[in-house]
Structure 1
Amino acid sequence: MQSAGTASQAGRWIGRGEALARLGVKAQTLYAYVSRGRIAARPDPEDSRRSLYAVADIVRLSGDEPAAEIGQWLPPEESDAPELEIRSSVSMSAGGRLFYRGMDAVQLAETATLEDAARLLWDARSANPFVEVRPRVGSTPGPSARGRLFAALARRAEEDAELKARPAEALRAECARILDEAVDAVAGPGPRLFLHQRLARAWKVRESDAHLVRRALVLSADNGLDACALAARAAAGGGASPAGAALAGLATAAGTGAILDLARASEWVVAVRRQAVDAARRAHEAGGLHGFGDPAWPVGDPRAAGLLAVADLPQDLARALREGEEMTGRAPAFGLALVAIARRLELPREAAADLLLIGRLAGLLAHAVDQITNGSPIRARLRYVGPEPGAN
């Protein structure tokens, strides 16, 4: 139960000097509380170089808050606190377009490699973090490309788990090694080519078509602040290394509807190519046609449009997309575009999902580094809604 004294403190903010005096700690300890999300902080509106600190959090940490008794417990009420805000400089969408650090992602994909996109997303402008990357000796075990991808990330997360402060340049170099090892885990050992070329070589893609793999990877890198990015940022904010944070985000990506939608979109493409259009139409009428439209992109996903514009699809694939769009009245989603590219290049069954996850890894590493170096504390509170204490 919140006391009247505590309630009176809600919404109040104080400067650093008063916060230190109330807590009786040094400035480093105060900053540690903020970085761990135990004390909320915000810029001083009168001087952006200074910060203000939440009185309610300071009261709680200083022990001045009266202890609540079990007999006074009340069910939680709905909070009127503002929606959780996380500051990110990685990407944003505006006007039906996706931007990586202010650069149009579709335009970037016309010429950029995944390494180029990663450097942009990681804000690695002064130095190329891939210059010092060397191949790792030994292969990553696993029966599938996705299994090897996660195994490589888990290994790096364990190796990098030591809690130590690292400058931004060192973090970016670490991310370059992680991304390089992840691609090697999927593609296997070989010549030190660009990342997309290694994958294209492993999948036996013709050199003239390798640009489709490159574009797909770049366009998969980020999609704004979704559940995957939030998971990566939460892990990084809690002290995880870039590999550990990216692993959290990638596990979220693999468990979300995006991967399932890829499989369902693939079923539609297969049905049309097998002339089973009537069955596919019945599936649509039953609400089972996937791959068209995305609530996040009401007028169509620019990544899908950009990728399909240069795909040079054969007639049966083009018909699958055209007939689905006519039936639903919605444009192909990005997942369906990846499926179409995978079919066009005759890649392995799970390659569309692998492209999405590998490309997304670059963006999740960007969110991890951004959170570690520039991110505001991720402050969220668990609202207990279980049985009343002592009820059992």
Structure 2
Amino acid sequence: MASWISMTEACKLLGVQPQTIYAYVSRGKLEVMPDPADTRRRLYRAEDVAGLAKRKQAGRKHETVAANTLFGSEPSIPTALCAFSRGRPYYRGRDAVRMARTATLEDAAQLLWGAEPAVDFSCTASLRSGKPGRGAAFVALASLAAAGHSTGGRLTRVLHAEGQDLVGRLANAFGASPGHEALHLRFAKGWKQPARVADLLRTALVLLADHELTSSAFAARIAASTGASLPACLLAGLTTLSGPLHGDASGRVRALFSEVERLGEDQVLAHHLSNGLPLAGFGHHLYPDGDPRAAALLALFEPPRVIARFIAKVTKLTGLQPNIDVALAAMAAHHRLPVDAAFGLFATARSVGLLAHSLEQLGTAQVIRPRGRYVGPVPEAAGA
């Protein structure tokens, strides 16, 4: 026999206001009857209330897990590509910083993609028309994405070949010289830099190839999970990478350095610290003891004096170490690289990782489809 409880008891058990109880009744989730002792009041089926309470508690746990999966510090997708251990990044178990001492981006791609033959980014086809930079790269990549073939039913080696062509074309769009040399040499040639700078570019490219499940890698994996073409997956990742809180953070650092060169390091630093303003490019949540990628790159050249003094003073006064965005911006300033060079290097290098994540996602045969947690007005009743 069913038992019945009052509105006050139902609200207490569910932790809600009377309006929510009325909504449950209107949606057929809660049975109601007049109170025999007082026809002005209503009673609610206790079993229905208990069931709702149980589902609500389970929902809270599910929402907590889902929110932590998307916004927490732990990765939500299994990957064998990149991991962090002892404050350093590793590509498939290999120390990325140590690897960057001698490896090329082609070597990193072969490792991350699991490619059998050596990877070759040589490319004579141009991905741009007009001035090199992200505008040319994104427009042309969008055209390739629109006409691209789905990844479904295609052999891995064929996808590797397409990936090689995409990275080579992307580099050309950012100013690398077309040709058959290693990609860092083509960048140096296109930007009219000597061999010693080419080696510096090589180091930077390897250090930037991947960084586990970043927001851009997640975007690329979502596209890949739907069977989208490789250029579409790459475009999804690169547009996400272009945000100032991600791959274009070096642009914020460049703006900060411009202030330093114009006003002096002491005035800029005093302004930021006295107003509690964050200093772009300093600190990294994954590297509390300092970004080893930045340390490795900064050890290979001397930043302009005013920038070097600024970096030293920020570290002394805040305890925060420069991250890879500072290293990239300082390198671009020291060698007078093109304005968009730091982002171009980042985007080209990380395209290797984005494609690696896309290829890895194809092996799961699952569409990534998170659920939304609706918090808007109660939906209207059917037929209303």
Q: Which residue of 1 aligns with 2:61?
A: 80
Q: Which region of structure 1 is more displaced relative to structure 2, 254-263 or 288-297? A: 254-263
Compare relative contact order (CA 8 Å, sep 6+) and give the higher one, 1 or 2. 1
Q: CA 1:294/1:285 → structure 2, altered by over 3 Å: closer, same or farther?
A: farther
Q: Distance in 2 between matches of 1:105 and 1:248?
A: 25
Deviation of 1:345 after TM superposition, in Å, equals: 1.1
Question: When the two structures are superposed, what TM-score results if normalisation uses the length of structure 1?
Answer: 0.75
Q: Partner residue of 1:310?
A: 300
SS class of match (2:27): helix
- Output the amino acid matched with 2:174: V
Match of 1:98 in 2: 89
Give the counterpart of 1:290 among 280, 286, 291: 280
Match of 1:380 in 2: 370
In the alignment, the residues of structure 2 paired with residue 383 and residue 227 of structure 1 have an alpha-carbon distance, to the nearest angstrom, of: 20
Contact (CA 8 Å) 1:249, 1:364: kept in 2 or not? Answer: yes
List per-residue Cα deviations over 1:289-313 (Å, max 9, x = no partner). Answer: 2211112221111111111111233
1:192-271 equivalent positions in 2, closer than 5 A: 192-259=180-247, 261-271=249-259
Match of 2:89, SS state, is strand
1:170 partnered with 2:158: yes
The answer on whether the counterparts of 2:127 and 2:169 sit within 8 Å (CA) in structure 1 is: no
Equivalent in the alignment of 2:102: 111
8 Å contact kept, 1:228–1:249: yes
Corresponding position of 1:358 = 348
- Contact between 1:168 and 1:373, CA under 8 Å: does it hold in 2? no
Pick from 105, 112, 131: which aligns with 1:121? 112
Amino acid at match of 1:283: H
SS of structure 2 residue aligned to 1:364: helix
Find out whether 1:135 has 2:135 as its counterpart.
no
Mapped contact 1:229–1:249 kept (Cα < 8 A): yes
C-alpha distance in 2, partners of 1:163/1:353? 28
Separation (CA, whole Å) in 2 of partners of 1:135 and 1:385: 52
- Cα offset for 1:166? 1.0
Aligned equivalents of 2:25, 2:282: Cα separation in 1: 54
One-letter identity of the residue aligned with 1:171? L
- Choose from 296, 307, 310 the match for 1:320: 310
Give the residue type in structure 2 aligned to 1:80. Answer: K
Aligned to 2:27: 71
Deviation at 1:336, TM superposition (A): 0.7
Aligned length: 322
Tell me if structure 1 keeps the 8 A contact 2:248–2:343: no
Distance in 1 (alpha carbons) for counterparts of 2:185 and 2:378: 59
Q: Distance in 1 between matches of 2:217 and 2:338?
A: 27
Q: CA 1:279/1:162 → structure 2, altered by over 3 Å: closer, same or farther?
A: same
TM-score scaled by structure 2? Answer: 0.76
The answer as to whether partners of 2:177 and 2:189 remain within 8 angstroms in 1 is: no
Contact in 1 for aligned 2:150/2:228 (Cα 8 Å)? no
Q: Secondary structure at the match of 1:93?
A: strand
CA distance in 2, matches of 1:91, 1:141: 35
Change (3 A) 1:145 1:134: closer
Larger Rg: 2
**1:340 aligned onto 2:326:** no
Contact 2:150–2:227, Cα closer than 8 Å, also in 1:
no
Deviation at 1:368, TM superposition (A): 0.4
- Cα pair distance change 1:283/1:168, threshold 3 Å: same
CA distance in 2, matches of 1:321, 1:134: 38
**After the TM superposition, which of the residue ranges 291-300 and 225-234 deviates more from structure 2?**
291-300
What do residues 319-367 of structure 1 show as CA deviations (whole Å, max 9, x unaligned)?
2221221222111011111001111111122211221111111110110
